[in-house]
Structure 1
Amino acid sequence: MKALSDLLSTDYGLMSLVVIAFVIFMSVWFGRFFKRHMDEDAAAAAKAEQSGRPVP
């Protein structure tokens, strides 16, 4: 209980929560960013394959 109290009431506890939230946000953002670009590259490769161009 002391740890939870420290986490929510001290400056270093609140900063820890900010850092944890930021890291979670970054992981979600990077995951969506990479997924979007992988899907775009897959679509471009499929389109190039259908048109008969070599895929780089």
Structure 2
Amino acid sequence: MKALSDLFSTDYGLMSIIGIGIMICMAGFFIGLFLRKPPESGQK
């Protein structure tokens, strides 16, 4: 329980949570970006 209280009540714990959240958001963005169908490149 000490680890959880440190995680949510200290400045380095909150920065860790923010950093992990940013990385998860970036991963979701890039997965969506790379899985999207690429546009047709003029080959008709």
- Aligned-pair RMSD on alpha carbons? 1.7
Gaps of 5+ in 1: 52-56
Count of paired positions: 44
Higher share of residues assigned helix: 1
TM-score by length of 2: 0.84
**Which protein, 1 or 2, shows the higher relative CO under an 8 Å CA cutoff with sep ≥ 6?**
2
Percentage of pairs with the same residue? 49
Runs (4+) off by over 3 Å: none
Which structure is larger by alpha-carbon Rg, 1 or 2? 1
Gaps of 5+ in 2: none
TM-score by length of 1: 0.68
